[in-house]
Structure 1
């Protein structure tokens, strides 16, 4: 009887480790690694329930799910945070927001909130780059601005002087990366405003609607796999570019990847995630019918300290919630 029970336990341990290990496998090498990693939260939940059951049963086998949970701690850390807010006299606020090009029918209210937000640095994706919007944001707070990319879809606004700036992909691509070097006192801060490859999947219709999902399964699968590979290439370009910079670095924006992916962990191996270090709760940033996604992030290098991080989930003018991080430059 004991030998019969051993086989499914061994198989489960193997499956858990394979799913965990998927975040180390590039979608460029194995295109399904992103799909495999989607199973990580379910693996964690099952192991937690399995551990509680065995613990209540006073079984010595409770050590197995406990070990699997311990191995999966990096995923738990990227899911839930209980950090405390700290303070520093020379801190600055950074906000990033996917604006959905202000096409949700609430343009005036959205612009009013954006203008009233007093963050020192504001980064936008899917930005509505009209002259009137740029002027309204710039004038209230005396921001310097850098707007670019396809249809002026990306913007960096800063109360600090911009001493350098650039766009990664000059061709007409709807996903891009902007960067700007900002002079903060005697220091220079490099800010990357990223909007990595979109899935181009209509979540409400192609995922939530079961009939539509069944009909368009192959299309959804293909879009997901293609998007993962393209984001991997973009992250490679980003990290190579950042590797040549000696400044404090912020990498912020819409990453279009959940915290259980090769792409997320590729950045996390070199940069700290502000939610993990200074956030609270689950920090979900997607404002749609799949409300448990955290795809908007702020990463930073060791020349910065994250003092606080929050998701403003009461600001629902877009299909994303804005996020705000508070930082200080460490010396």
Structure 2
């Protein structure tokens, strides 16, 4: 009787797992409640692995069923919890750079904490963050929520926030800034790509209208003569205050007071990101160059947005990382919303999250890629 009940539970877990995977494939603009089913995927994956362990102790023949499901769904497991123990030893020695190697850093810099309330905890954060980026040995930097004050800006702090000069020319990099707003004082908001390689092409991809949530790209000429394309994009934000989210589940009346408003904003974000990622996938499919993607997805690895990108590209963390790889610097734990992806022509050699750089609400990510297929041979 107990064994029969356990077997039925195992079948229910497998059905739940398959249903959750199906929910991941459904665009939020078509049926947004499916996203809630997708968010249960890590729980279903964990229970299926637990079922494998249970049946190995009870009946190895029955264990074959959840074990087969675990093998087939392993890529989904790796999205949220990457396991590459062999990589831990190899990480001690950094790969030697070649003419086809690209070292890439991506970071949501939160406008370098230009507003006083953003740097109350650490007034030195803007200067330290800009210096870290300027001194970083990376060949390419992709920055979201970028901020710059050109010469002639505010007299008191203009020199501090001349980020294009410091991260770009003074550090030996070319700069491409996609500006979404220039305020009355001349300060520039948007996104940026900085490159030690020559920029031979560039472009901006707005989503409906040009806002902070958009995409940009730069075509770069490597020392080998190959041309690659680097995309930098920032998908729709939730516009949900972290405190509201924490209050909704930590206080007795929190869900009642905050729940409806959070749900509306959650839905708007889901629908917008599904449209935005589909727009980008269409652009990616027309690109003839090897691609590297840097993104603040504002979405979890178990989402339609991530799924569409993972179907076409290698996720750097899932390919070589170990653990959860959380990138959000805040009260919400285990949240990875910042990602790097690479097209099949690349080998991901290393990837890491810079937890020692706490100057934004996102931790920067760093990766090294090696081009396997020269553009001349494609």
The two structures have a TM-score, normalised by structure 1, of: 0.92
1:102 aligns with 2:112: yes
In 2, distance between residues paired with 1:93 and 1:251?
Answer: 13
Distance verdict in 2 for CA 1:117–1:27, change over 3 Å: same
What secondary structure, in the 3-state scheme, does the structure 2 residue paired with 1:42 have? Answer: helix
In 2, distance between residues paired with 1:143 and 1:81?
Answer: 35
- Which residue of structure 2 aligns with residue 142 of structure 1? 172
Contact 1:285 1:311 in 2 (8 A): yes
- Which residue of structure 2 aligns with residue 171 of structure 1? 209
In 2, distance between residues paired with 1:329 and 1:5?
Answer: 49
What secondary structure, in the 3-state scheme, does the structure 1 residue paired with 2:146 have? Answer: coil
Contact 2:248 2:257 in 1 (8 A): no
Distance verdict in 2 for CA 1:59–1:280, change over 3 Å: closer
Which protein shows a greater Rg? 2
Q: Deviations over 1:141-185 (max 9, x none)?
A: 211101124233200001111111111118342201011111113
- Which residue of structure 1 aligns with residue 38 of structure 2? 37
Deviation at 1:126, TM superposition (A): 0.8
Where structure 1 has 5 or more consecutive residues not aligned to the other structure, the ranges are: none
- Which residue of structure 1 aligns with residue 145 of structure 2? 126
2:83 to 81, 84, 88: 81
In 2, distance between residues paired with 1:317 and 1:141?
Answer: 20
Deviation at 1:5, TM superposition (A): 6.0
1:318 aligns with 2:360: yes
Distance verdict in 2 for CA 1:215–1:61, change over 3 Å: farther
In 1, distance between residues paired with 2:354 and 2:6?
Answer: 48
Contact 1:206 1:220 in 2 (8 A): yes
Deviation at 1:12, TM superposition (A): 3.2
What secondary structure, in the 3-state scheme, does the structure 2 residue paired with 1:305 have? Answer: strand
Deviation at 1:129, TM superposition (A): 2.4
Contact 1:87 1:307 in 2 (8 A): no
Distance verdict in 2 for CA 1:61–1:204, change over 3 Å: farther
- Which residue of structure 1 aligns with residue 155 of structure 2? none
Distance verdict in 2 for CA 1:242–1:3, change over 3 Å: closer
Distance verdict in 2 for CA 1:134–1:4, change over 3 Å: closer
What secondary structure, in the 3-state scheme, does the structure 2 residue paired with 1:269 have? Answer: helix
In 2, distance between residues paired with 1:271 and 1:124?
Answer: 20
Contact 2:215 2:233 in 1 (8 A): yes
Deviation at 1:270, TM superposition (A): 1.1
What secondary structure, in the 3-state scheme, does the structure 1 residue paired with 2:35 have? Answer: helix
2:321 to 279, 296, 301: 279
In 2, distance between residues paired with 1:265 and 1:175?
Answer: 19
Contact 2:244 2:258 in 1 (8 A): no
Deviation at 1:58, TM superposition (A): 4.8
Contact 2:202 2:216 in 1 (8 A): yes
Deviation at 1:22, TM superposition (A): 1.4
Where structure 2 has 5 or more consecutive residues not aligned to the other structure, the ranges are: 120-124, 151-161, 182-188, 374-378
Distance verdict in 2 for CA 1:254–1:265, change over 3 Å: same
1:261 to 275, 296, 303: 303
Distance verdict in 2 for CA 1:308–1:10, change over 3 Å: closer
1:222 aligns with 2:269: no
Structure scoring higher RCO (CA < 8 A, sep ≥ 6) equals 1
In 2, distance between residues paired with 1:12 and 1:251?
Answer: 34
- Which residue of structure 2 aligns with residue 153 of structure 1? 190
